[in-house]
Each structure stands twice: as structure tokens, then as C-alpha cells.
Amino acid sequence: MSRQYTLQRTHSALTGAIDYATELNEQQLAAVTATPGPMLIIAGAGSGKTRTLTYRVAYLLENGVDARNILLLTFTNKAARQMLDRVANLLPVDAAGIWGGTFHSIGNRMLRRHGSALGYASGFTIMDREDQKDLIATVVASSGIDPKEIRFPKADVLADIFSFVVNTERPMEELLSEKFPYFLPLLEQIKDVHARYERKKKATNSLDFDDLLEKTLRMLVEHEHIARVYRRQFQFILVDEYQDTNKIQADFIDLLAREHQNVMVVGDDAQSIYSWRGANFQNILEFPIRYPKAQVFRIELNYRSVPEILEVANSAIATNVKQFKKNLSATRDSKAMKPALIALNDGSEQAQFVAQRILELRDEGVELNEIAVLYRAHYHAVELQLELSRRGIPYQITSGIRFFEQAHIKDVASFIRFVVNPHDEVAFKRMARLLPGIGGKSAENLWKGWEREFAASPLPVAAVADRGPRTTTPATETSADRIRGYSIGERLLKLNVSMRSKKMWEQLAQTLDEIAPKGKPNPPSEMIVSVVEAIYDDYAKANFTNYELRREDLNQLAAFARQFSDAQEFLSQLALISNVDAEPTPNAAADKEAVNLSSVHQAKGLEFHTVFVIWLTDGMFPSSRSLETSDAIEEERRLFYVAITRARDELYLSYPHMRLNAGFGDVFQRPSRFLKEIPNELLEDWQVSRS
């Protein structure tokens, strides 16, 4: 029988170096100095979450815990470095022994040491996204599938499908049913490609990003002697942003903490907004169930916002059933200015209001980069981008890509550009490359054929008569004029394409004739709808992981285009928006003043003097896709809460009564249900009129 021998913790000579009671408020102090054991810290927005984690690490070190026995898990390596740097500034100790970093970086360290247990040599290659796509494409080709014959998902989409399967620990069929239902008929082929991909990685001693966690967890589950090493080493585990963890990350933590259970997780259930990328909201809700002895601490003192904004935030989240109830309270004095509620006629008037108010704020001394306009989806900012460009107000978009510069917008616009200007080589090639079997070289050959066909066709008299009275003389008539009155599609069908591209080429020719009969372009909104339904929808499903969001963008593009009866004017506006004041980007010089336009998801973690939240109507925010289930509505409400809590001093909540809709005319909009949940006395109603 073995004897149990316990090493006593040594007391650090540093004890008393930090006056925690002075440095922390009472709520933070209670969490930082808590006794060992499982702990859940519910840290409200702006409450000093990072400060609490940092001081907890310092407290452990000061009380004799060896740095090597601490594991700090964060969602970015930068966050881990910043916390450890702060610890080093608090205490004259070397904290280098702490294992701090992302889940994947910690997994990488473990696999480098012990990956041979799974058959991987320590020098394995970590593939980046491009490497992963190349390997998946190779596997698809070797499997006998021709993705140019059928709309088989491209490598980028397959990589996302495989990633969701790993991170959510769900069966492939269940995942496809929920997120990619249009690929269900290809389930067996996708499973086969996944299995081949796994074998190929093993054969080449390569791992993708998700393997760094999935293979690590499998190694710990299958090889107890390795798991025991790390459970002994990591006596204290601290996890940041716990509300954003997925299933496999929670399992990883639970496995390492199984014996000592000294795990401290910090997060805010009210800011759990990433279920669409695999985050599991149940992880934070069920922590006290998985750890029955867990102490739960609430940090609710907010250092960011004025009281008036926090009262709105508290009311906004109160309706949620699945949550840890909390009430943010302010450390700042009242500003005596309530958040504003603004009803506008339509999206155009909403954009005018926001732009005018931004200019007024600048005159009042608020810098443009301290102003943010937040929205539920990227396409909500279409009218606003146009209005800001017209007024010369510089802006930057958090995603880095303006609405009209996104690939799917430019793809669909290329069809319109081509029928308006058949000389547009760039538009022709972009349009052609969307079709199966046509790459760069094929598109070049087709363009040369098009040029020959175009030059060889004289203008019959009948075609001139069809167009009505001549407005140019034969000497001044342009090439674009010469092709009008002809069927563009018939000319395209004269070009030589491969047999595997023939069917879609015929569809392209038919679509171009539909959107520009006899060379006369239809209204741009109708053209967009036709192109999407006939060709682009299938292409988008196979090529984009966020197909539904891109389809929403295209619907909004069609709605936006209803303002224009002439295709040339529509294209001119797109070009102007893309080129006017186009220099501001997230990488622009720090002294460049620009208004921030951002989706709420991308604004999480940021704060601004003034925040505008726009398009607060049912179907927009909350989104129409979320209206089917109570869980989805609750996540949308959390998203609204995140938007509100980005504001420090001023908050504007706006909604238009009417919305342009492709094919349906003006559609009446109901104010967001979230606005109705906020007591009237907490908001100031602004009545907007025209001078």
C-alpha cells in the first residue's frame, strides 16, 4: 500500500506587497481573495473583469502558489500576455512559468510533448487556412468528386463544416441539418471526404487549427498517464470570457480540473452572442451544476457608462429568462441626458439624422473616432454609407470591407456592368469565373472570343428601328450602342466552352437576355433578383460559409437599387460610394479621424463616447431568423445589451417606420420588441421634422 505524502505550500516573502483592499472594490476583492475551489465570476460590462483576473493571479503567487502550477486560458494570446505583464508590474516575480495563452496554443504545447501517443511526431506541421483548403481540395479531387460538375461545397466551406463538427462535438448529419441543409443530399460524400482528410493529415504529420484542441483532448482521454501529469501540474486554472467557450473547450477544462476543481471562470452570460460560430451558452449557465460546490461572485460596478445608459441596459436584459440576474450600477456621475429614441420615416431619413447628428457632435468637441454606429447586420449600413460619403464624413468599417466592396456584391454587379457596357473586360471575366469549369485561363480565352464576335457583328437597320429615334450619328455611335438591339445571350452561345461548362453557360446567356432584353437593361433591382435566383444563389451556397448573411446582403442590394430606374445611375452610385474618401481602414494611421461603423458582434469589447444603434425594428434587430425560438430571441436580446453597453456618454436608438423591399414595395416596420421592454421614462423621445 502506497503512502500519501503532501508537500506543504510555502509562504511567499512577497505576502503583503499588494494592498488588495485599496486596489479593488468590494466585489472584486471578494473574488480575488476567495478560498480555493470552483468559482464562477459573473463580471458585468465595464466592471473590471481583466483587473479581477490579473489580481487573482497575483494573489495566488503572493500566497505561495508556484507559477508553473497556474494555467491561464484566454481567447487571444495578446490578452494573456497583457495580463501576465500586469502581474509582473504588480509583483517583483518572474511569472514566466505560468502557462498562459489560448486553448489552441496550450494544446500545441501539450501535443509537442506527448503527441507521439497519437502517432504524431513532435515536429508536426500546423496548417494555416490556405494550407488546409489546399489539402481538402486535394482530397476532394482524389475522391472522384468533380466539384465543377455538381455544386459540391468548396474547400473553404468544407473546412468550416469540419470545424463545427469538432468544436460542437455533434454528428455531421445533425450539423448539416441545422446550418447547411442544402448539403444534406451530399452527406455521405462529405463524410467520406472528412475521413480521407483525417487520414491525409496523419500521413503527412500535419494538423489543422482545430486539431490542436481536438487531438489534445483525445490524447488526454485515451492516455490517462498523460492526463495525470497535467492534472497534477495545473493546480489552479483560470479562464477568461467563459461565456464564449464551445463544447470541446469546456470538456478540456473539466478534464484538467477533475480532481482538484480549482477552476475560476470569468465571464458575462449577458454578453454570450457567438452561438453562430459554435459557442455554447449552456457552459456558463450550467457551471454551478457541473461544479456543485462552486462559489458564484457578481461584479456589477460599472466604470464605463453614465447611470442613464446603465438603467436602459439593465431594463433591456431583464426580460431574459436564462441568465444570472445582475444589476449594473455606475461609478460615474449622472449626465442628466437620457438615451434618445428616434423614429424616422425610412432608412434614408435615418441615415440623414445620424449623419447630421455626427456633425453636430463633432462641433461639440466629440472626436469622430469616439463615435460608433452599430447594427445587427452589415447590410443595415447601406444608406448610411451613401449619406456619409455624400457629406464627406470619413468612416471606417470594423470588418475592413465596405458593403459595396464585398465579393458577393461585386459578383452580382458584374452582370449589370456587362450588359450596360459590353466592353467591360473585368466584369465579363468576373461573371464567367462564377461558372463551373471556368478558371482564369478559360475566362481569358472566352473574352478574346467575345471581342472577335463583338467586332464582327454589324448593326442591322431593323435593330436601329427597334431602339427608337437615333440619338447619335454613325460616326459617333459607341460600341455599346452597336450591341443594343441584339440578344447578348445569342452572341455568347457562339463562344466555345467545355462540355462541363455548357449547361451553366447556356443559363448565363438566358439570364443576360432576361435582364437586358434586346440589349435594353431592366431596372437594376429586377436585374439583381433575376441574377441571384438564376445563377448566384447556387454559387453562394457552395462557396460561402455564411451564405444566409450574404443572401440577406443581396436582398438589401436589390431593395437599395429600387431608388434607381436606370442601371447606369445605379452603377455610378456604387462606384462613387466605393471611391469617395475610401482611405479609412482599421489599419489607418491612429491620428486619422473617422466614424466607426460596426456590427454589434465586432464591437464587443470596445467602447465609445457616443453610440448610435440603428434599424431597431422586428425582423432587422432582432433578426428575422431569430424569431422562431425563444433561445434565439434571448441571444438577440443579449446582443442588444452589448450594443447599449458600448456607450459611455450618449446613446441614440433609432428605427425607421418604412423599409424598401425588393419586389414588394415599401414595407411597414414595427419597432423592435426590445424597445418596448424599456420603460418610457428611461428614454427621451425625439421628434424629427424637416426644415
Catalytic residues: 49-50, 240-241, 271, 646
Query: Phi and psi for 640 in degrees, rounded to 5?
Result: -60, -40
The DSSP H or E segment spanning 340 is strand 340-344
Identity of residue 622: P
Query: Phi and psi for 411 in degrees, rounded to 5?
Result: -60, -50
Contact status, residue 17 vs residue 91, Cβ threshold 8 Å = yes
Query: What are the b/e assignments for 385-403, b being 16+ CB within 10 Å?
Result: bbbbbeeebbbbbbeeebb
DSSP state of 620: T
Q: Which residues pair with 623 in a beta bridge?
A: 619
Contact status, residue 607 vs residue 313, Cβ threshold 8 Å = no
In 345-488, beta strands by DSSP E: 371-375, 395-397
Could you give the CA distance from residue 418 to residue 53 in angstroms, rounded to a whole number?
57
Q: HEC string of 586-602?
A: CCCCCCCCCEEEEEHHH
Cell triple for residue 355?
449623419
CA distances from 438 to 146, 450, 525, 575 (A): 13, 15, 27, 27
Distance of CA 283 to the CA centre of its chain: 21
Contact status, residue 161 vs residue 175, Cβ threshold 8 Å = yes
Query: What are the b/e assignments for 7-31, b being 16+ CB within 10 Å?
Result: eeeeebebeeebeeeeebbebbbbb
Contact status, residue 96 vs residue 67, Cβ threshold 8 Å = yes
- Give the residue from 20, 5, 56, 6 showing the smallest Cα distance to 35: 56
Cell triple for residue 270?
449577458
Burial of 457: CB neighbours in 10 Å, binned 0-12, 13-18, 19+? middle
Q: ω before 622 within 30° of 0 (cis)? A: yes
**Summary count for the chain: helices (H), strands (E):** 31, 19
Q: Which long-range contacts (CB under 8 A, 24 or more apart) does 627-632 make?
A: 630/321, 631/281, 631/322
